[in-house]
Amino acid sequence: MSWRRLLSELRFPFRHPEWFVLSLVYSGILHGASLRADLFDVGDPFWILTAGVVILLSPIYHAMLLPGMIARRCGAGEITRETRSPVESTLSRLIVGELMVNGLVIAGALVFLLPGIYLGVRLAFYKHEIIAQDRPTTLAIRESFGKTREGRMALLVFGALGVCYGAAFGIDALLLGAATAPWLIHAGSIAVSTMLLVYVNSFITALYCARSQRQAQHGS
């Protein structure tokens, strides 16, 4: 990827400030819910609160964010024919998918880190399949596995997730070391989470559109 293309990708989300507003609201709620227990702190009794917020709010967030993002990333054509569906038409399938996919990823991460990472990469497109193609949940999961079967695509997804999460963790660590007031740490964490959500979804959607369009052209 050229520097010009990379800069274009980094600037692209700023053309759509509504993505940042939506992500900021979601990040604030999620941050407040996770103050007592992180999503992976399954031994903490407050874990159920964090898990409940993720399971209920993540599908709503993605049902509101991804249709517009897919339409703008993929452009007009066959792939976007379903993106005008109302939120409620996909919400139940996204909730079921959230339960299934988070269960698989958390179980894989608890057994050993690599299975969790592997499943996170292979399942990166299931929400897009539900929203863009109106798939049932189990079929969307199978389609996500199919679209990431190719080694190059899996590496691109892994790279996008790795860079985004690595940058977010690095900035969070700097904030913890530099900030003295607790409110600065919390505000910084919410801001970092907002940027992370926007860029992860933007990059993964771009990869999904590229893979789907190539699949439509070549039938593979």
pTM comes to: 0.84
Give the amino acid at 185: I
Q: Which residues contact 208 (CB under 8 A, 6 or more apart)?
A: 70, 73, 124, 125, 128, 132, 147
Q: Which residues contact 31 (CB under 8 A, 6 or more apart)?
A: 186, 189, 190, 193
Chain segment 51-108, per-residue pLDDT in tens? 777 778 889 999 999 999 999 988 754 444 444 555 667 888 998 888 888 777 777 6
Q: Which helix (H) or strand (E) holds 39?
A: none
Chain segment 104-163, per-residue pLDDT in tens? 777 766 666 777 888 889 999 999 999 998 899 999 999 999 999 999 999 999 999 999
Q: Which residues contact 219 (CB under 8 A, 6 or more apart)?
A: none
The candidate with the shortest Cα–Cα distance to 71, out of 206, 193, 203, is 206
